[in-house]
A and B are shown apart, each in its own frame.
Chain A
């Protein structure tokens, strides 16, 4: 067992080279004392990142017998394949090691250029490889990179629309677009986002929130009211954070009846019991916006940390003053 067999077995990758994510110039900077086969065996092995990094440095200073490497790593590859019976989980687990190798070799600089080289140099149409690679990039909030990969996978028709993974891929595409925030200001992205949300059958909160957000961005007040009425009984059953997101949209839509109605929902959910929590702080902030009260933006930015984004608020301000 070695890297070739493992990568072929897991992903139908028949030919791979340790420097697949690098440019020619970057490759030249590495001066290994061992053959590419040895480097490949280490690069694609399921071992701890710290140890792989250290080994990678050692191999640039001195050679290690390729026979010894073969023996030691054969055991690692064999044990890894036996560790999970569930193929999906095995692949997801392996993707961690695969990604860590890219981090090591690129010195933690994984950007869109690296992703483009990966698209070019990894020759497989195995849908699980691409799905879990995208998932890894997406969960690290590298949205530009995940979006580029999703477009590639869709263009190449790698993941079948009937596949159970397809809807999740659409979800990743949705958030990859949303993550850049450009959709608030550019119609092209807005349309893409609104269309994608229609394809999400199993994510009710996201779907309804996006429908209302699209109405807001397109300044469709009547549709906003109509859609809110259509989904209000569902919204009433959501958790407080999801209702607060709708509250924010209604405030920027300047639709007083709906603002009052959502306020009632929040009272029913005992919003006052949340005093001291981030939920209450968000409620307090949004209510101030709604009532045109003074807002100490720096204070709220600091308090919200990563719990609430002000990008809708920034968008609202830009509209208000233009």
Chain B
């Protein structure tokens, strides 16, 4: 089971929709089993896909986090199958905002102390953020048999994102829009990520939505995002297992934000093609069949 973070420095860049559509493609066409987790707890998006029919013996993800930090007894995390092979883990019920608000207040106290200590190494290999992430991953993995867990992170420089920027998150998709504010902000986030020689962060940069302007300008922005425009950036790039920068074009149907938008798009639609390319980049990273094993079986 592999974990994938979807992060954007600022909102409104199509992060949640990209996550959802990548998950839809991989479940429908690559037969992968995926859990999508609404970790954007201050501005939830995926949670709206929930039918809100929670079992009594389970708890919403936000309540689970509070119990985890308060060291209370934890119940199983509430999950809901929303399509074949696709499981949703909502943050909370979107029909019940008042208790949600109270839980967030409780959680904020813990997040501050995590922020203070998230990069402290508990041993030679792990930080507190790594340890918290691994507990969460383990508890989610107990809720089903998944090939991937996709985390929809909150934006900005946040405490929650510190957990999801753990080196133990297997793959990180970093999404920004085509403007300097977004690109510089995201580059700053990349700069503050600690360098790990043992386990480099695997990073795929995504720009969305691609504007319909003069080509050279778009290429220049793409180069800035791809960290090739000066020697400091090239050094920053080498800190990671850098998988390049991909682009997502604007698609009106997707902006409408409908769960079924993906299914309505034609196979030749350029948005659909770009999402498939990103999904294949993630999937190929973890699904390379051993050529040596294949040859051994045949000889």
Chain B's interface size range is 35 or more
| Per-residue contact bits, chain A 51-75, to B (CB 8 Å; 1 contact, 0 not) | 1001100000000110011011000
Residues in A neighbouring B299, C-beta threshold 8 A: 64-65, 68
Nearest-Cβ distance from residue B271 to partner chain A, whole angstroms: 11
B252 at the interface (CB under 8 A from A): no
Q: A48-B288, A51-B290, A72-B294 are in contact. Are A139 and B228 (CB under 8 A)?
A: yes
Choose from A76, A93, A138, A172 the contact partner of B291 (Cβ within 8 Å): A76
Q: Interface with B: A83-91, A149-157, A255-263, which one?
A: A83-91
Interface residues of B in 255-298 (CB under 8 A from A): 273-274, 276-277, 280-281, 284, 288, 290-292, 294-295, 298
Residues in B neighbouring A171, C-beta threshold 8 A: 223, 228-229
A120 at the interface (CB under 8 A from B): no
| Per-residue contact bits, chain B 238-250, to A (CB 8 Å; 1 contact, 0 not) | 1000001010000
A65-B299 Cα distance, complex, nearest whole Å: 8
Nearest-Cβ distance from residue A144 to partner chain B, whole angstroms: 14
Q: Interface with B: A101-109, A162-170, A289-297, which one?
A: A162-170
B219 at the interface (CB under 8 A from A): yes
Residues in A neighbouring B216, C-beta threshold 8 A: 164, 167, 201-202
Nearest-Cβ distance from residue B95 to partner chain A, whole angstroms: 40
Instruction: Name, among B230, B280, B290, B294, the residue most crowded by chain A CB atoms within 10 Å (CB to CB).
Output: B230
- Do residues B229 and A93 form an inter-chain contact, with CB atoms below 8 A? no
B237 at the interface (CB under 8 A from A): yes
B232 at the interface (CB under 8 A from A): yes
Nearest-Cβ distance from residue B151 to partner chain A, whole angstroms: 24
Q: A85-B277, A167-B219 are in contact. Are A92 and B244 (CB under 8 A)?
A: yes
Residues in B neighbouring A179, C-beta threshold 8 A: 231
Nearest-Cβ distance from residue A9 to partner chain B, whole angstroms: 18
Q: A68-B295, A86-B246, A202-B217 are in contact. Are A178 and B231 (CB under 8 A)?
A: yes
Instruction: Name, among A85, A167, A241, A307, the residue most crowded by chain B CB atoms within 10 Å (CB to CB).
Output: A85
A94-B3 Cα distance, complex, nearest whole Å: 25
Interface of chain A, helix or strand or loop or mixed?
A: helix
A35 at the interface (CB under 8 A from B): no
Q: A138-B228, A141-B234 are in contact. Are A164 and B215 (CB under 8 A)?
A: yes
A206 at the interface (CB under 8 A from B): yes
B residues whose Cβ falls under 8 Å from a Cβ of A: 184, 188, 215-220, 223, 228-232, 234-235, 237-238, 244, 246, 273-274, 276-277, 280-281, 284, 288, 290-292, 294-295, 298-299
Q: A203-B229, A206-B230 are in contact. Are A167 and B273 (CB under 8 A)?
A: no
A239 at the interface (CB under 8 A from B): yes
Which residue of B has the minimal Cβ distance to A237?
B180
Interface residues of A in 7-47 (CB under 8 A from B): 45, 47
A135 at the interface (CB under 8 A from B): yes
A54-B290 Cα distance, complex, nearest whole Å: 12
Residues in A neighbouring B276, C-beta threshold 8 A: 85
Interface residues of A in 196-247 (CB under 8 A from B): 201-203, 205-206, 239, 241
What would 20 A/B residue contacts be, using CB atoms closer than 8 Å?
A47-B291, A48-B288, A51-B290, A55-B292, A72-B291, A72-B294, A83-B284, A84-B277, A84-B281, A85-B273, A86-B274, A89-B246, A139-B234, A164-B218, A167-B219, A171-B223, A203-B220, A203-B229, A206-B230, A239-B188
Residues in A neighbouring B284, C-beta threshold 8 A: 83
- Do residues A51 and B291 form an inter-chain contact, with CB atoms below 8 A? yes
- Do residues B184 and A239 form an inter-chain contact, with CB atoms below 8 A? yes
Nearest-Cβ distance from residue A6 to partner chain B, whole angstroms: 16
- Do residues A55 and B291 form an inter-chain contact, with CB atoms below 8 A? yes
A98 at the interface (CB under 8 A from B): no
Instruction: Name, among A139, A239, A309, the residue most crowded by chain B CB atoms within 10 Å (CB to CB).
Output: A139
Which residue of A has the minimal Cβ distance to B215?
A164
Choose from A51, A89, A165, A307 the contact partner of B244 (Cβ within 8 Å): A89
Choose from B217, B229, B274, B295 the contact partner of A64 (Cβ within 8 Å): B295
Which residue of A has the minimal Cβ distance to B219?
A164
A175 at the interface (CB under 8 A from B): yes
